[in-house]
Structures are given as C-alpha cells and as structure tokens.
Amino acid sequence: MQGNMMDVPLTIPFILERARSIFAGREVVSLLPGGRDEAGQPIPRKHRTTYGEVADRALRLAAGLQGLGLQPGDRVATLAVNSYRHLEAYLGVPSGGFVIHTVNIRLHVDQVAWILGHAEDRVLIVENVFAGLIPAIRAACPKIEHVFVLGPTPAPVEGAEDYDAFVMGHEPMSRSPQIDERDAAGMCYTSGTTGNPKGVTYTHRSTILHSLASAPKDMLDVGERDCVLPIVPMFHVNAWGLPYTCAMYGAKQVFAGVFSDGRNLAGLLQDEEVTITAGVPTIWMGLLAELDRAKAEGHPYDLHRLERLVVGGSAAPESLIRTFEERHGLRLAHAWGMTETHPLGTASKVPAGVDERSDEGYALRAKQGRPAPLVFLEILSEDGERLPHDGKTMGRLVARGPWIASGYFKGEGQGNFFTMDGELWFDTGDIATLDERGYMHIQDRAKDLIKSGGEWISSVDLENAIMAHPAVAQCAVIAMDDPKWDERPLAVVVLRPGMSVTHEEITAFLAPKFAKWWLPDATLVAESIPIGATGKFLKRELREQYRGYGNAAQRSESAPGD
Amino acid sequence: MQGNMMDVPLTIPFILERARSIFAGREVVSLLPGGRDEAGQPIPRKHRTTYGEVADRALRLAAGLQGLGLQPGDRVATLAVNSYRHLEAYLGVPSGGFVIHTVNIRLHVDQVAWILGHAEDRVLIVENVFAGLIPAIRAACPKIEHVFVLGPTPAPVEGAEDYDAFVMGHEPMSRSPQIDERDAAGMCYTSGTTGNPKGVTYTHRSTILHSLASAPKDMLDVGERDCVLPIVPMFHVNAWGLPYTCAMYGAKQVFAGVFSDGRNLAGLLQDEEVTITAGVPTIWMGLLAELDRAKAEGHPYDLHRLERLVVGGSAAPESLIRTFEERHGLRLAHAWGMTETHPLGTASKVPAGVDERSDEGYALRAKQGRPAPLVFLEILSEDGERLPHDGKTMGRLVARGPWIASGYFKGEGQGNFFTMDGELWFDTGDIATLDERGYMHIQDRAKDLIKSGGEWISSVDLENAIMAHPAVAQCAVIAMDDPKWDERPLAVVVLRPGMSVTHEEITAFLAPKFAKWWLPDATLVAESIPIGATGKFLKRELREQYRGYGNAAQRSESAPGD
C-alpha cells in the first residue's frame, strides 16, 4: 500500500530557493587576490556578499547556460578555488538542469585536459589565476564550446569570456526545469593513484540526503548561527558537501581562495568568528605552527568561537588532536570519506559516558568515527567473509548507502563494486577495524599495508606514533622488499627545525606501543615527503625512490609473533 | 543523465538495523504501572532496557506478525501509552512490511472503534490499562483478527493474547521484506474537530527524511549523547517523530507511560538526566507549578542537563517562555506541525546576531520558527493570492514538502489539498504571518479567528496576552455573535487560586498592546476550559456553551480602525 505523502523530488533547486528566501541576509565572505606585494606575492582582499545575492547570480548563471543551448545533463566544468563565485556555480549549474564538474586545480594541465575530454564538458569556468592555461586546454579539448573567467584579468583572454559579464547579462531563471531526483547534479574525478582518473557522478537525491545527514551534531554540527570556513577545496568532493549543507541550513560561509597559509587562515578564523572549519591534516599542521608562533610572541589569536576543526582526507595522529586541545583549547574532529562516498562516511564524536579529554576519549577521537545515518560499513576478509566488529580485527572496508557510488562514469572501474547478499557494496580499498559501537579506524590503504611474514603491519599506525616524537615533523612509513619476510617497514621522517633523531631513538620510542616485529627496520631522514594533489603523501613515489633500499639497510631479525 | 549513486531505498528497517548494530548499549527507560497506593492510584516502576533488546524484540514482533498471515501494507493498530513496547512496535511493524496505526487513547471507545473499522486494522495492540475496552472493540470491529495486550493483566483477557509471550515466541526476522520507500509505514487519524476523523498515511521515505531533518540543531538538536523524554504521546503524530529520530541518532529515550503529572515528570527529567523533552503547553504549565513548588520549599530539582523543552500542539505564550527562562533557567523552544505534516513543519531558534534572552529574542521565540529544510510555507489571501512575508500580513498558511500529506486515506478530505502553479499544496487551516527571515507566527485557526467589522482579530494573540496577567491561569478567547460587527471577542478565564479579576482590569491590561477594537467585549470567569484529546482547548464546545451570550453582555462601541 502506498502512503499519501507529497511526491516532492529531492533536488538542489530547493537548497537555492531556501537560501534565497529565508537566509537572504546571511553573509558569504571570500578572500580574493587584491594585487601583489613588493615580493610579487598576491595580497588578499576581502569580498562580502550574501546568500540573497549569490542565489540571484546563481539563477542568472542558470539562465545564461540555458541560453547557450546546453541540454539537461550537460557538464559544466570548474577549475577554480573556493569563493562566492564557485558557490554560485554549485547552486546555479545543477538548478539549471546541468552537471557541475569540479576539476582539481593541482593537476598537471595534461591531466586536466584528459579529464575535461573524458567528461565531455561543454563549458569551462576558470579562475583568473589559471587563465594562462586556457589556450592549451582549448587546443586539447575541442568539445569545450565556452570558457568563462572568474574575476578580472589584466587584458581580455583569447577564447574566453568574462564570467561576471555573462552572469549579469541574463535575467534570473524564473522556474527550474523538471529534474528527476536521480539525475546527475555533480561530478568529481578520483585522484587516480592507479590507472586513469575515474568520474563519480553525484545525483540531486544523493546531494540532498548528504546535506540533511551532514548537519546534525554527531556529524558536522551545522546551523544558521554557524560560520563555516571550508579549507578543503571546492574541487575536492564538493568541499566535503559543506557549501550545500551550509546553504541548506543558512550558515555563513567563508572562503579563503588561494590564501590557505597558516597566517591568513588564523586571521580569517578570528576575524570572521568562524565556528566550524574543515581540512586535511597538513593544513592543521600549518595552522598549528602559526598559532604557536603567535602565542609565543605574546599575541595569541582569539579563536573562542571556533567549535571544531574537522579533519579528513587522511588520518590525524592522536598527538595532533591532543596538541590542539592542550595547547590551544581547540577541538579536532575526524571525519572520513572518499570521492565515491560524497564524501561523508563517518564522523567522530565520543559517545555518551566518555569524556572527550580522557585517554579513552582521545583514543576514540583518533578513530574516524561512526557511520552517518543510512551508511553501513563492513570489514571483509580476503575471502570476502564479514569480520567481527571487535575493534581489533582488520579487514577490507566496504560501504553501502544512498550517497555512495554504484559505479563510475562510462561504466569504468567495475571491480570496485560488488554484490554481497543481494546488495551492492563499494570496496573502499582501505583496511580498517570496526568496534562494537560502530567506530571505524582506518589502518591503511590496502596497497600501503605492509605484509611481513604473512602478517599485516599498519603503516598509518606507525606514522601516527612516530609523529608524536618531538623531533619529527612528518613521517611516512612504506614497505621495502625483504627476501625473508617479504616486506618490512621503512620510516621516512622530516625533522623539526634544529632537531635530529637516530633510528635507535625512534625504535626505542615505539617499543612500548608495538610488537617488536612491527618496528621499522630503518629510519631515513628526508628533506620533504612528496604530497599529491589532494594533500596526501605520495607513497608510491616514496617506494620508487627507496626501492632496493632494504638490501643495504641494517636489519632487525625479529619475526612476526616475537 | 542519471548519476551513479546506489539506489538504496529510504526505509525504516535501516533505523532498526542502525540502532541494533551501533547503539545496542544505549538505554531505553520506561515508567510502568507497579501496583497501586493506598488511595488506589498507580505507582510507577522504572523499567530499563536497551536499543539492542528493543531491536531484537522488534524483529521478533515482525516475524510474529508475518506468521499470522498478514499481507504487506496491512494495518496493525496500537492503543497504547509511551513505553519501550510501543517503541518495539514503531520499529518492528513497519520493518515487517506492515503499517503501524497509532490510535488516540483519549477518544471515546465508539470513536476508537470507528477509526479501527475505517482503517481496516487486522491486529490491535492494547495497553493493559485499557484491556477493559477489548470486548466492546471486538464486538464493533469484526475485521480485527488478533488482539495483543501490553503488560501483565490480573487474569487472561477474553479474546486477547499476551504481547510478550507472542513476541518471545518467535525468532527475530532475519531479513526485511522488499519495501518500496513510498510504501505506507505509519498511519494516524486527525483529531477531526469537524466531520469524521481522517487518516494520514506516512511512508517509509517520509519517515526517514523527517528523521534526518529533525535532528540538526536548528530543529530538535538530537544526538547520541542526548537523553530524550517525549511527553507528547506516541499515539499523537509519532510523538513528533522523536522515537524514530532518537533511534536513528542513538539518543537514550525515556517514556513516562501514564505518569505525565508534574511531579513524575520533574523526577524523570532530573534522575535520567534528560537533555530534550517535548510536549504541549498544558504539560509545561503543570511542570512549572511543580518546579515552583519544589523551589519554594527549598529543594529545587537539578535540571542543569535539560537543554530544551520543545513546545508544540498549540502556541506557548511569550510569558510562559520568559517565566521558564527567568525563574528556572530553562529553554522552551517552539515547534509547529500537524498530523498532516509528520509533524515537523517549523522549529524555533533565534537567528545569528540575536540574543535569545533579549526582547527581540523572546518575541521571535514566541513565533513558531523557521521551516524545516525541504518544507516550504506560504500565506494566501482569501482569493488564493500569495501574501507578502513581512511579519505583519496575516494569511491562510499552506505547506508543501516531502513529508507533507498529499491526501487522506481512502481519498477523503480532498478540499484540504490544492494545486498552485502546478504544484500540490496542503491547506493547514491556520492563519499565520511569515517574516523576511522565514519565521512563521500562528495567529489562529481559521475557524477560531474572530471577524469583527470585516477585520480579523487573532484569538491566540489575545489569549497569550491575557495569560500574562498575574491572576489568570488559563484563557480562551472565542467569537460571540454580534448584530453590528458580525463577531466580537469574548474572554473566558480560569483564575489562579485565591485570585480575582474584573473585565475592566483585563481590558486595562491589554490596552497598551492592542488596537481598541481588538479588546474583548466581556470577560467571564470559568472553573475550567474544556480540553480535547490532543490537549488543545475545545473552542467549539466553548462557543456552544456561550452561544447567545453576546446579546446580554456589556458592549464596547469601538469599531475596527478606531
């Protein structure tokens, strides 16, 4: 028997209309480039607008795109940093019936062109700072018919039009086209550490459900009184969905643009009275250095309004969570997800009865958290059997839910999706534990896991422990080939200024926490660790760099089970 | 173009599975009857269980119902108070593929039987305290095949089985049946102040969306660390959805059963460390009296964990909100909805930049709040034209959204639904204002509005103002017929113990706040005001009682526009 409830589709125009009608006065603040200093570095200029104006311009953009003759479902790419104009595209492109395809600005121009071609984008919206790439892109991507440049340029750009002029040259779209909630609304390519990048297409339905599910206090805790600064880029999984979640709930939004260094961030967090911010661990390490500096110099930032710093992308070590809390009274809170999960899979909050500043609390906060409502997680053995949720057993993490990908664009990468008990699941490629209360703890990427004598060693666990050493700024642990144990761990560390450390000091530091056979066989000091386009360590490159190192290195003869 | 997101239906078994798997240890506390005192009054006994056990028993109930031969979509009625057993039915009945039909226990047995017959219920689950009604119901409702009694009875009940024995006699259902998200999951009849009651059928989809949308902090603010005591009955619009929202987010639930007097409530709120509670204004008036008494006697309750008292069903006067805040430091927060709106239509929280304890804050808090995400509200003129959102213009409140009814069971009451600009809307029958920021303020039920000289007078505004008078405990303002002005307001007041008041004192008290023509023509003192089955004043009865009074009463000759 069907029930009698209105058949209202879950579509993004409702978010736009809500922001326009009841949050019209809430602010949207962006740092834009405002000239250059004597050293040639860009100087930030603060731009203030409102949801009312953003919504109006988003509707003009939608009307303009319709006027270009685009068909429903056509892709409109952005190559842009976080700003109010990018937010207009987030709201306006899908409301016009099109798909916003956010492209990673940190990729090489050849990769950008490959992705634009694969997605068959018809329109490209480019940040002015990347306008120099336009000729190469146009040459490589003949299917792109129109290019619009965000922000002023010193001179007109060959083959491109001014975005503001285009937007303001149209009246606001007065009525959204018919949109089915399962129509595509957004598109984002995975970073593709193996093989070509693959496209994930978000639907209107998944975006609305993700926005609803992200807001409650056990997830990202967003409301109208909040001010949210997503440092995570808008080209990276919808900036973790925050632009939509904030517009749905009326939170003020702040965008740092190209200014994501510690000093500019700390200034924005303080001056705009930010309550929630979100980014990868490397961003928080940069912010920590700036907060430490300011405190040491006797003029600390006033961040008393800042409720939580959401950390995702990769795991934050417990030591970093403790340091923020103990040194600056700031709360780092884990969330976990992937391009394929929209991305909110889990968020971390300590459960009832646990003090978040107790040892148990910190240990739980170092995990990635509990699944969002409607998301189900399992860990599987190599044979595909479900493993126990005991907080200890490691298994391959798989996920299912209404905002989790069922496949990639053009049917690629089918191997990442499989059927279990008649239901479709996504294989995340992560190795994790799950505990009785649902807390998920990433142990490693399956491909980064070190297999020593038939047993698994978590590189992430070792990295987090080594990063708590006072001399260590960054650490990556990788597998090196070993004739006896197959693989053994190798630690690569970047030192804090003026510090030094020996391999013996590192193993002595780790010894109380790990079985002897987990301890790295060698510790190497490096100037830096290569970081990829999404802010993660490029372990593949590291492994290439240190291939064959194992044969020359000093060996411990400890074995699994020692 | 369709996107590639998993096609996971939004169904209640996901809530059950989530509660079972990750919130298994969270408590569910119920006050059950535990014998009688010397005066024959029931004594409460506290029962403690967990979501794990509730979920297990819910799955046994589902399996048991399937074993009875019920078909998907068949209705299972409950005639029950708030308790863990009722929660089992909330989760288990829809997870088995059936429809839980919650029936108002305060109705006359003839009305109950009419509703059970109209809904064509096949199974009835009855609280033991109402077991005496079973013979009459069975006689009147031949379609009911099975009756189960919740809790112990002194002797077996003719024509009924023991619920616990039935539940524990089955193994838990191991796999949910195929459920379409648009299938009916719940059913509730409107209180039907005119004509026969009409059935609203909630779907799995609407219940999931409502649960997601209810949790964020601008709505009911529910998380795992919360403890929620829904005083609003589970037979009344799903206890405002709280049993589902709490199970989805893992909040501890507390049920008062038949013990909803001020003393038992205050004790539960304190001892169970309740953080969120919800009920109608009359419940809060009873609680206020108990809190005042305890404070005056020098042993106030410790309610420092109580974050908010959600008030709905009818409007709470600003004076009540102020009194709770100023006298006990407790936050009353409005929510608004109806059986037809699942019920969450709006919830009240002051916007950014407003202090909730300022005059502006209190004035906003006396309104019903902003719409939930995906719910859209408009106010219409008598000609059906959209009226401005200026906070002043009154119009007929209409609503649209994915958890708002599109019709009633068996196609009745079509007049309450209409099409505007190609979209279906529900006519709430309320008269309201909407302001620029979306705050909705109920002025009156359309049928209670007083039309004097062609202008509208809000009975609710007058009642709220009169209830702020120190001598007045309760007040209802109704229309009396008037030969000159058509209708004029008449105030009926219940005095506080030992107090008195004259009509002149009331009008003098009101005069600074209202136009002269709004002031009541007469003030009558009554012993009590009749209250209906959902806790609202029965103004229809009052109007009957005072029909013709107008011709005898003293008249003011002020006219509209004076």
For B6, the closest of A186, A204, A402 (CB atoms) is: A402
User: Which of A4-8, A189-193, A368-372, B64-68 bottoms out in mean pLDDT, i.e. has the lowest?
Assistant: A189-193
Q: Are A468 and A317 in contact (CB under 8 A)?
A: yes
**Under 8 Å CB-to-CB from B249, ≥6 apart: which residues?**
A216, A218, A373, B215, B222, B223, B224, B226
Q: Please tell me the distance in Å from B92's CA to the nearest CA on chain A.
A: 17
Longest dimension (CA), chain B: 74
Q: Is residue A555 scored above 60 in pLDDT? A: no
C-beta atoms of A6 and B404 within 8 A: yes
To test the contact with chain A by mutation, choose from B5, B205, B221 the residue with the greatest count of A C-beta atoms within 10 A, namely B5
Burial class of A526 by CB neighbour count within 10 A (0 to 12, 13 to 18, 19+): middle
Two tokens, residue B288: 């206020």
Closest alpha carbon within chain A to B216: A216
What does the pLDDT average to over A132-148? 96
**Under 8 Å CB-to-CB from A419, ≥6 apart: which residues?**
A425
Q: Which residues of B are annotated as catalytic?
A: 190, 340, 451, 456
Q: Cα–Cα distances in Å, from A519 out to A367, A488, A503?
A: 22, 9, 10
Residues B534 and A201: their CA atoms lie apart, in Å, by 47
Query: Which of A78, A102, A190, A507 is labelled catalytic?
Result: A190
Two tokens, residue A305: 């309004």
Count of Cβ atoms closer than 10 Å to residue A511 Cβ: 12
Q: Cα–Cα distances in Å, from A279 out to A19, A302, A333?
A: 24, 20, 11
3-state SS, residue B109 = helix
Give CA torsion, residues B369, B372, B375, B381, to 10 deg: 0
Q: Using a CB-CB distance cutoff of 8 angstroms, which residues of chain A are in contact with residue B180? A: 2
Which candidate, A280, A242, A258, A308, places its Cα nearest to that of A87? A242
DSSP state string for B269-321: HHHTT-SEEEE-HHHHHHHHHHHHHHHHTT-----TT--EEEE-SSPPPHHHH
Task: Name the superfamily (CATH) of residues B13-25+51-210.
Answer: ANL, N-terminal domain (3.40.50.12780)
Q: Could you tell me if B428 lies within 8 Å of chain A, comparing CB atoms?
A: no
Q: Using a CB-CB distance cutoff of 8 angstroms, which residues of chain B are in contact with residue A7? A: 182, 402, 406
B340: left (phi over 0), alpha (psi -120 to 50) or beta: alpha
Tens digit of each residue's pLDDT (9 = 90 or more) over A452-468: 877 778 888 899 899 99
Q: Are A127 and A162 in contact (CB under 8 A)?
A: no
Q: Please tell me the distance in Å from B417's CA to the nearest CA on chain A.
A: 10
C-beta atoms of A437 and B22 within 8 A: yes
Tens digit of each residue's pLDDT (9 = 90 or more) over A37-91: 898 888 999 999 999 999 999 999 999 999 999 999 999 999 999 999 999 999 9
For A402, the closest of B10, B402, B407 (CB atoms) is: B10
Q: Cα–Cα distances in Å, from A468 out to A33, A318, A475, B187, B486?
A: 37, 8, 10, 56, 80
Q: Which residues pair with A446 in a beta bridge?
A: none
A420 pLDDT band, cuts 50/70/90, is very high
- A284 noted as active-site residue: no
Q: Are B332 and B306 in contact (CB under 8 A)?
A: no
Report the Cα A434 to chain-centroid distance in Å: 22
- A46 noted as active-site residue: no
C-beta atoms of A6 and B209 within 8 A: no
Residues A175 and A59: their CA atoms lie apart, in Å, by 9
Q: Could you tell me if A225 lies within 8 Å of chain B, comparing CB atoms?
A: yes
Q: Which of residues 157-216 of A touch B (CB under 8 A)?
A: 180, 182-186, 200-206, 208-209, 211-213, 215-216
Q: Are B490 and B524 in contact (CB under 8 A)?
A: yes
CATH class of B454-554: alpha beta
Tally C-beta pairs within 8 A across A and B. Answer: 223
For position B452, what pLDDT does the model report? 82
Q: Are A95 and A202 in contact (CB under 8 A)?
A: no
C-beta atoms of B405 and A218 within 8 A: no
Q: Using a CB-CB distance cutoff of 8 angstroms, which residues of chain A are in contact with residue B343? A: none
Two tokens, residue B472: 């007045």
**Under 8 Å CB-to-CB from B248, ≥6 apart: which residues?**
A373, B15, B18, B19, B211, B212, B215
A534 pLDDT band, cuts 50/70/90, is low
Q: Please tell me the distance in Å from B285's CA to the nearest CA on chain A.
A: 30
HSE-CB at B197 with a 13 A cutoff on CA atoms is 23
A444 pLDDT band, cuts 50/70/90, is confident
For B206, the closest of A5, A209, A352 (CB atoms) is: A5
Report the Cα B186 to chain-centroid distance in Å: 16
Residues B546 and B530: their CA atoms lie apart, in Å, by 13
Q: For residue B348, what is the DSSP state?
A: -
For position A42, what pLDDT does the model report? 85
Query: Which of A88, A340, A463, A487 is labelled catalytic?
Result: A340
Place of tokens 């969120």: B276
What does the pLDDT average to over A92-108? 95
Compute the mean pLDDT over every residue in chain A, rounded to the nearest whole number.
92
For B182, the closest of A3, A436, A437 (CB atoms) is: A3
For position B545, what pLDDT does the model report? 83
* Ranges of chain B whose pLDDT falls below 70: 191-195, 533-535, 548, 550-562
Q: Please tell me the distance in Å from B14's CA to the nearest CA on chain A.
A: 6
Same CATH topology for B13-25+51-210 and B454-554?
A: no
What does the pLDDT average to over A498-509? 94
Tell me the helices (H) and strands (E) count for chain B, helix number first: 16, 26
Q: Could you tell me if B218 lies within 8 Å of chain A, comparing CB atoms?
A: yes
What does the pLDDT average to over A118-137? 96
Strand pairing class (A395-400; A423-434): antiparallel
What backbone torsions phi and psi does residue A299 show, to the nearest 5 degrees? -135, 70
Q: Is residue A559 scored above 70 in pLDDT? A: no
Q: Using a CB-CB distance cutoff of 8 angstroms, which residues of chain A are in contact with residue B364? A: none
Q: Please tell me the distance in Å from B178's CA to the nearest CA on chain A.
A: 12
DSSP state string for A438-470: --EEEEEETTT-EEETTEEE-HHHHHHHHHTST
Q: Please tell me the distance in Å from B400's CA to the nearest CA on chain A.
A: 8
3-state SS, residue B84 = helix
C-beta atoms of B203 and A403 within 8 A: no
Domain limits, chain B: 13-25+51-210, 376-445, 454-554
C-beta atoms of A225 and B200 within 8 A: no
3-state SS, residue A25 = coil
Which candidate, A364, A359, A363, places its Cα nearest to that of A348? A364
Residues B196 and B117: their CA atoms lie apart, in Å, by 13
A445 pLDDT band, cuts 50/70/90, is confident
C-beta atoms of A201 and B26 within 8 A: no
**pTM for the full model?**
0.89
Q: Could you tell me if B14 lies within 8 Å of chain A, comparing CB atoms?
A: yes
CATH 2.30.38.10, domain A376-445, yes or no: yes
Residues A475 and A466: their CA atoms lie apart, in Å, by 7
Which candidate, B181, B236, B212, B167, places its Cα nearest to that of B12? B181
**Under 8 Å CB-to-CB from B456, ≥6 apart: which residues?**
B394, B431, B443, B444, B449, B450
Q: Could you tell me if A224 lies within 8 Å of chain B, comparing CB atoms?
A: yes
Q: Using a CB-CB distance cutoff of 8 angstroms, which residues of chain A are in contact with residue B72? A: 1
Q: Is residue A500 scored above 50 in pLDDT? A: yes
- A502 noted as active-site residue: no
C-beta atoms of B215 and A211 within 8 A: no
Q: Are A299 and A267 in contact (CB under 8 A)?
A: no
C-beta atoms of A182 and B407 within 8 A: no
Place of tokens 């719910």: B375
A192 pLDDT band, cuts 50/70/90, is low
Q: Using a CB-CB distance cutoff of 8 angstroms, which residues of chain B are in contact with residue A211? A: 373
Two tokens, residue B524: 């009558």
Count of Cβ atoms closer than 10 Å to residue A286 Cβ: 18
C-beta atoms of B3 and A183 within 8 A: yes
Place of tokens 């799950």: A434
Q: Please tell me the distance in Å from A367's CA to the nearest CA on chain B.
A: 15
Q: Are B406 and B417 in contact (CB under 8 A)?
A: yes
For B401, the closest of A8, A216, A342 (CB atoms) is: A8
For B402, the closest of A6, A23, A249 (CB atoms) is: A6
Which candidate, B337, B211, B238, places its Cα nearest to that of A213? B211
What is the 3 state secondary structure string of A252-309?
EEEECCCCCCHHHHHHHHHHCCCCEEEECHHHHHHHHHHHHHHHHCCCCCCCCCCCEE
- Terminal CA-CA length for chain A: 62
Q: Cα–Cα distances in Å, from B278 out to B216, B264, B308, B311, B467?
A: 16, 15, 8, 6, 21
Q: Is residue A244 scored above 80 in pLDDT? A: yes
Q: Please tell me the distance in Å from B198's CA to the nearest CA on chain A.
A: 12
Q: Please tell me the distance in Å from B76's CA to the nearest CA on chain A.
A: 13
For B182, the closest of A2, A400, A437 (CB atoms) is: A2
To test the contact with chain B by mutation, choose from A2, A4, A22 the residue with the greatest count of B C-beta atoms within 10 A, namely A4
Q: Using a CB-CB distance cutoff of 8 angstroms, which residues of chain A are in contact with residue B352? A: 26, 224-225, 252
Peptide bond into A9 cis (omega under 30): no
For B404, the closest of A5, A213, A248 (CB atoms) is: A5
Q: Could you tell me if B225 lies within 8 Å of chain A, comparing CB atoms?
A: yes
Q: Which of residues 100-159 of A touch B (CB under 8 A)?
A: none
A557 pLDDT band, cuts 50/70/90, is very low
User: Which of A353-367, A376-390, A485-499 bottoms out in mean pLDDT, i.e. has the lowest?
Assistant: A485-499
